[in-house]
Structure 1
Amino acid sequence: MVTRSDVEAAQERVLGRARRTPVMRSDIGWLKLEFTQHTGSFKTRGAFNRILAAFESGEFDGGTGIVAASGGNAGLAAAYAARELEVAATVYVPENAPAVKVEKLRELGAEVMLRGREYAEAYEAATKRAADTGALYVHAFDQPDVVAGAGTVALELEDQIGEVDTIVVATGGGGLMAGIAAATDARVVAVEPMDCPTLNRALAAGAPVDVHVSGVAVDSLGARRVGGIAFDAAVRHDVHSVLVPDSAIVDARRWLWKQHRFVVEHGAACALAALTSGAYLPGEDERVAVVLCGANTDPSDLG
C-alpha cells in the first residue's frame, strides 16, 4: 500500500530533479500540463524516486546500475533519471520498438537491449538481468516508490490551485492513478480506452486479469494487466472507472491542439476525452482537474 506520507517523502526526494509542471484553466476545467515534464511524461517522477529511495535505504549504491523494460515513456524516464544521477542504465525493449525511441534511449546514455516481440519478453529478460547482476530494477508502474513518485503530481496540483473535487487521469498499468489516489482526498476518475480496459475489467472480475489491448493509445496505455498496487488503490480509494472510444480520444487530442496548441499523446488525451465526450459529467459546481500526462507523439496528424 502507498500512502500520502509516502508521496510526501517522494516529493522531498524529487524536488529539484523532476520539473514542477504548470497548470492552466480551460473551458473544461483545470489542466495539469504534465506533458511538459522531463522526457515528456510523468514517468520521470517515479523513476527518480525509485532510484533515490534505493540510495537512501542502502538497497543500491549505484555501482551495479539500473535496469528497466520499456520502449516508451517509462524507459525514457529511467534512462534520464539514471543519467542525471550518474548511474548506468540498461533498458530492454521489444525488437519492434520504434527506431526513434531506441535512438532517444541511446542519446540519454542507456544501453539498449532488444528482446522478443512483446513487452512481456523484454520484461522477463530485464528482470533476469537485474537478478543476475544485482542491478536495481525500475518498474514501469508497479513498485511502491514508482507509484509514490507519480503521486507527487497531485501534491503539486494541490499546492498550485488548492483543493479540487475530482482529478481525471488516464490509466494503463495504473501507477499514476494509484499515486494520485494515495495522495489526495479528491475523487479520482480513471479513464481508459475501450480497447485497453485493464482496470475496468479487473474491477469487474475482483482481481487483476489479462486483457487484449489495441487502439490509438495502446503505445502508452496498453498494459495487458493492471498493476497489483494500482488495483488495490482503486478498490481502497473507490476510484471511478470510465471507458472512452478511440474516436473520443482522437477528438480530445485535436481539441487541445485547436484550442491551446498543446501537442499531447493519445494516452494523455484519453483523460480529457472523458469530459469532452460526456463519459464523465461533472456536477454544476464540481471543481475538476485533468492530468495531461504525456507528449511523446507524432504531431503530423493534427493538421
Structure 2
Amino acid sequence: MNLHFETPLMESRALSVLGNQSVWLKLDALQPCGSFKIRGIGHACAVHRSRGAQRFVSSSGGNAGLAVAYAGRRLGIPVVVVVPETTTERAKELLHLEGAEVVVHGSSWQEANQFAQTLLGATDAFLHPFDDPLLWHGHASMIDEVAQARFKPDAVVLSVGGGGLLSGVVEGLQRNHWHDVPVLAVETEGAASFHAAVEAGHTVELPHISSVATSLGAKRVCEQALHCVHEHPIRSLVVSDFSALAACERFLADHRILVEPACGAALSVAYDRHPALANYKKILVVVCGGATATIDQIRAWAGRADCR
C-alpha cells in the first residue's frame, strides 16, 4: 500500500527562461501532507505495521512528524509525536488535525528525540525523521518516477537537512543506473551540517542552528549522507536565509505553490542563477515542500534577514 502519490514532473517556464536552461520541477510539495517525507515514512510505517507495530512514535516538530501522523491515520494506528518547544502553533495544529497525540518536550529536536525514546514500548515502532534505510528506500521512488517519465536530467538540485532526502535520491539515481547524474546539495547558512561534514571528512555536530530554515536544522547529518559523497558525484552548496526566503516568494508567484524556506534553499540556486548550474542544460529541482510555514511567517523572516 503506497501512502504517497506520484507527483507531477513539469518544466518551470519562469526558471527556464531566467537561466536559459531547461529547469524541471518534481513537485513533492503536492504530497497529501505537504512534503516528500511521506514517501519514506509511509513506506517505513507500512513495513512496521506488517511486523506487528501497534503504535508509531516520532520526534519531529515539522514535516516528518506530520507524515507519521498522516500514515498512522491512514493505517489505523495511533501516533505520538514529540516536538520541541520551538515548534510553531501551526505545526501542532496540523498534527492534531491528523489525529496525533502531541507531546512538547525540550528546547531542540535532539532533546525531543531523546524523550521520545523513553516512550517506546514493546509493540511500538519508532520513526526517525531522516536516519533510516526504510526512509531512503521510500524516498528513492521519486527518482523512479522521473525515470519512468523518460526524463534524465544533467543534474539534480535538492535541499539537505538530516540527509534523508539526499540518501534516498542517490539510491534512486543508482538503482536507475544514473551514476553520472550529479547532485547539488543545498543548505542555508546556520544549518549547514552536511557542508561541515564534507569539509571535515566526517560528520560534525553544529553548536546550534541559526537559520530560519528550521526544517534543515539537523545539527548533525546522518552517516549515510556523507557515505553518499564517496559513491556518487555530489557538490555541497550553501545559500543565505534571504535567498531561500526570496525564492519562496518568487515560487509562489510563478507556480502558486507555497513552500518552506528549507525548500526555498534549493529553489534559490535556480532563481539566483548560481554558477554551479552553468554547465548543465537540463536541471531537475526537487520541490520538497513543507507544510508548516505561512506566507506571513516567510515575509516576517525575510524582513529580519534583510536587516542583518
Task: Tell me whether 229-238 or 34-43 shows the greater mean CA deviation.
Answer: 229-238
For the 8 Å contact 2:62–2:91, the answer to whether it is kept is yes
The residue number in structure 1 matching 2:165 is 176
The residue number in structure 1 matching 2:52 is 61
Which amino acid letter does the alignment assign opposite residue 226 of structure 1? Answer: V
1:284, distance to aligned residue in structure 2 (A): 5.3
Aligned to 2:238, the other structure's residue is in SS state strand
Whole-angstrom CA distance in 1 between matches of 2:263 and 2:231 = 24
**Counterpart mapping for 1:1-303 below 5 A:** 14=2, 17-26=3-12, 27-28=15-16, 29-56=23-50, 60-63=51-54, 65-130=55-120, 132-184=121-173, 185=178, 186-211=181-206, 212-217=208-213, 219-283=214-278, 286-296=281-291, 297-300=293-296
Which amino acid letter does the alignment assign opposite residue 271 of structure 1? Answer: A
Cα deviation digits, residues 167-198 of structure 1 (max 9, x gap):
10000101001100111122111001122111
For the 8 Å contact 2:155–2:280, the answer to whether it is kept is no
1:62, distance to aligned residue in structure 2 (A): 3.0
Aligned to 1:120, the other structure's residue is in SS state helix
* TM-score, normalised by the number of residues in structure 1: 0.88
For the 8 Å contact 1:94–1:122, the answer to whether it is kept is yes
Q: What is the aligned residue count?
A: 283
For the 8 Å contact 1:173–1:227, the answer to whether it is kept is yes
User: Aligned in 2, Cα 1:102/1:129: closer, same or farther, shift over 3 Å?
Assistant: same
User: Aligned in 2, Cα 1:291/1:285: closer, same or farther, shift over 3 Å?
Assistant: closer
For the 8 Å contact 1:242–1:280, the answer to whether it is kept is no
For the 8 Å contact 2:60–2:81, the answer to whether it is kept is yes
For the 8 Å contact 1:68–1:75, the answer to whether it is kept is yes
Cα deviation digits, residues 43-86 of structure 1 (max 9, x gap):
11111111222344xxx3132x1110001000000010011111
**Any gaps of 5 or more consecutive residues in structure 1?**
1-12
Whole-angstrom CA distance in 1 between matches of 2:147 and 2:252 = 26
For the 8 Å contact 2:63–2:290, the answer to whether it is kept is no
1:92, distance to aligned residue in structure 2 (A): 0.6
Which amino acid letter does the alignment assign opposite residue 23 of structure 1? Answer: L
Identity %: 32
Runs of 4+ that moved beyond 6 A: none
For the 8 Å contact 1:40–1:294, the answer to whether it is kept is yes
The residue number in structure 2 matching 1:6 is none
Task: Tell me whether 277-286 or 102-111 shows the greater mean CA deviation.
Answer: 277-286
Whole-angstrom CA distance in 2 between matches of 1:125 and 1:30 = 41
Whole-angstrom CA distance in 2 between matches of 1:134 and 1:161 = 42
1:161, distance to aligned residue in structure 2 (A): 4.6
Whole-angstrom CA distance in 2 between matches of 1:205 and 1:97 = 30
User: Aligned in 2, Cα 1:230/1:194: closer, same or farther, shift over 3 Å?
Assistant: same
For the 8 Å contact 2:52–2:123, the answer to whether it is kept is no
User: Aligned in 2, Cα 1:100/1:282: closer, same or farther, shift over 3 Å?
Assistant: closer
Whole-angstrom CA distance in 2 between matches of 1:86 and 1:234 = 38
The residue number in structure 2 matching 1:8 is none
Task: Tell me whether 140-149 or 248-257 shows the greater mean CA deviation.
Answer: 248-257
Aligned to 2:210, the other structure's residue is in SS state coil
- Over the aligned positions, Cα root-mean-square deviation in angstroms equals 1.8
Cα deviation digits, residues 76-110 of structure 1 (max 9, x gap):
00010011111111111113322222122122111
For the 8 Å contact 1:36–1:295, the answer to whether it is kept is no
1:276, distance to aligned residue in structure 2 (A): 2.1
**Any gaps of 5 or more consecutive residues in structure 2?**
17-22, 301-308
